[in-house]
Amino acid sequence: MRHKNTGDTGLKEQIFQKIDKTPTKAISFADFMELALYEPDLGYYSQPGRVIGRQSGDFYTSVSVGKCFGLLLGYAIEAEWEKNGSPGTWLIVEQGAHDGQLAFDILDGLKNRGSSLLDHLSYHVIEAHQARRDFLIARIEDSDHSERVKVANTAGEVQNPQQKSTAGIFLCNELVDAFPVHRITLKNSQWQEIWVKQGGTPSGFEISYQEITNPDLLAEASRLNKEEFPENYTTEINLAMHPWLDSIRNLFADQGGHFWIIDYGHLEEQYYSPERREGTLRCYHQHRASDDPFVMPGECDITAHVNFTRLADYAQQAGLQCQTLQDQHDFLTHAAKSWLLGMEAEQKTQEQDNKKLLRQFQTLTHPGMMGRAFKVLKLQSSGADRI
Ligand SMILES: C[S@@+](CC[C@H](N)C(=O)[O-])C[C@H]1O[C@@H](n2cnc3c(N)ncnc32)[C@H](O)[C@@H]1O
């Protein structure tokens, strides 16, 4: 149901009710973001028809730019497979696949150029949310890749005993920026947590500042030296990265697992730069950015940049080794070498399809577009402390 002129889908009412049922009549910002994005049926990503892209979406991603991203990831995956001795079975595990487009683009790319990797490949998509899982399953069934792509509920489901002895690559594009984050603000020289309650504002939501009681959040906040930040400085802390890494660390055989995490974000120094007084939280609706998450919950995306330094720390704590952090320009330009050279050698750069792919390549790699803001963190299973 849609409540006239308010941009309200009914989710607001549901969140109000949840707030009302708590003893303190308030929920943490992370809980609010979880409801706004993932509440069954009503959350932004829980609506199966949710489209990402330039035309009818609210924002675009490297995947929605076009098939070039998947094509080049296919080259990079194939190179990694060969570097690992071309094992007989190779898994790709993707999380945050949304509508499965990246899987199709990777597999189409490999198929079109007759890659022998296809004979050894199985592709698993991890999707925790029921409605999105049902949508994905239906879309995969309708595709050319229904035999090869499987949908799992959790990382644990992918880890069946046979596959556990298998090597491969985990990948995700713009997954971590969609994890619910906690928000903290410096008030009277103390870090306080932002909570959400009902109030007399136009949106009906009001924020309050509370003493931090969550021990994990407290530990993260106390890493930030209060002396270095101005009063009212607000920032995000993504606690969900830690349990998530724990859930995927054992997907592959010892030494045989690679993890490519692609997202926009900063190293810690830039992330917590004193000038970034309002943090990195952004909302997107019809390609317009705002910093007010309360106006249209369920109808706008809410996202926060990734702190790659902290993500790498957590990865190491989870027993994964950090290999490299590259920007998307360097990663894709390297992956594209044989594609570009082959096209030039065969004088095919002026063919319509290739011209289209080359335009996409430009968008993905240009430093002023997606080339610098997006980064690729590569991790590897160390095997040292596997369960
Ligand atoms: C910003 S979208 C990116 C979609 C796609 N990867 C792309 O690049 O176009 C984030 C996606 O991550 C999904 N997501 C968030 N948390 C997830 C989780 N724990 N497991 C699986 N998917 C998740 C959301 O449902 C959404 O589809």
pLDDT band of 163, cuts 50, 70, 90 = low
Q: What is the model's pLDDT at position 31?
A: 98
pLDDT averaged over the chain?
A: 93
**% of the chain residues with pLDDT over 90:** 89
Question: What is the residue type of 309?
Answer: T
- With a cut of 60, say whether residue 188 has pLDDT above it: yes
Q: Is residue 387 part of a domain?
A: no
Summarize the confidence of residues 258-284 as an average pLDDT. 97
Going by the DSSP 8-state scheme, the letter that residue 159 receives in this structure is -
Q: What is the model's pLDDT at position 336?
A: 98
- With a cut of 90, say whether residue 238 has pLDDT above it: yes
- The answer to whether the CB of 137 is under 6 A from ligand 1 is no
Q: Is residue 218 part of a domain?
A: yes
> What is the model's pTM?
0.95
Question: What is the per-residue pLDDT across 100-110, written as a single tens digit (0 to 9) for each?
Answer: 999 999 999 99
Question: What is the per-residue pLDDT across 117-139, written as a single tens digit (0 to 9) for each?
Answer: 999 999 999 999 888 999 999 99
Q: What is the CATH number of the domain that holds 110?
A: 3.40.50.12710
Which tokens in the block code for residue 143? 């595709």
Summarize the confidence of residues 272-279 as an average pLDDT. 96
Question: What is the per-residue pLDDT across 344-357, written as a single tens digit (0 to 9) for each?
Answer: 999 999 999 999 99
Number of separate domains in the chain: 1
Q: What is the model's pLDDT at position 111?
A: 97
Nearest CA to ligand 1 atom 13: 96
Residue 197, strand partner residues: 206
- With a cut of 50, say whether residue 171 has pLDDT above it: yes
Q: At what angle do helices 308-317 and 241-248 cross, to 10 degrees?
A: 50
Q: What is the model's pLDDT at position 5?
A: 39
Q: Which domain holds residue 277?
A: 1-381
Test site for ligand 1: of 34, 35, 45, 303, most ligand atoms within 8 A of the Cβ: 45
Q: Is residue 286 part of a domain?
A: yes
- With a cut of 90, say whether residue 48 has pLDDT above it: no
- The answer to whether the CB of 163 is under 6 A from ligand 1 is no
Nearest CA to ligand 1 atom 8: 173
Which tokens in the block code for residue 160? 């069946």
Question: What is the per-residue pLDDT across 11-39, written as a single tens digit (0 to 9) for each?
Answer: 999 999 999 999 999 999 999 999 999 99
Question: What is the residue type of 361?
Answer: F
Q: Is residue 90 part of a domain?
A: yes
Q: Is residue 386 part of a domain?
A: no
Ligand 1 center to residue 93 CA distance, Å?
13
CA separation for the pair 11, 46 (Å, rounded): 12
Question: What is the per-residue pLDDT across 55-104, written as a single tens digit (0 to 9) for each?
Answer: 889 999 999 999 999 999 999 999 999 999 999 999 999 999 999 999 99
- With a cut of 80, say whether residue 254 has pLDDT above it: no
Q: What is the model's pLDDT at position 133?
A: 92
Residue 198, strand partner residues: 205
CA separation for the pair 174, 243 (Å, rounded): 17
Nearest CA to ligand 1 atom 19: 128
Q: Is residue 193 part of a domain?
A: yes
Ligand 1 center to residue 37 CA distance, Å?
10
Q: Is residue 241 part of a domain?
A: yes
Q: Is residue 363 part of a domain?
A: yes
Backbone angles phi, psi at 165, to 5 degrees: -90, 20
Question: What is the per-residue pLDDT across 193-228, written as a single tens digit (0 to 9) for each?
Answer: 999 999 999 999 999 999 999 999 999 999 999 999
Question: What is the per-residue pLDDT across 297-342, written as a single tens digit (0 to 9) for each?
Answer: 999 999 999 999 999 999 999 999 999 999 999 999 999 999 999 9
- With a cut of 80, say whether residue 374 has pLDDT above it: yes
> What residue has token string 């590897």?
380
CA separation for the pair 220, 217 (Å, rounded): 5
- The answer to whether the CB of 173 is under 6 A from ligand 1 is yes
Which tokens in the block code for residue 259? 């993890």
- With a cut of 90, say whether residue 49 has pLDDT above it: no
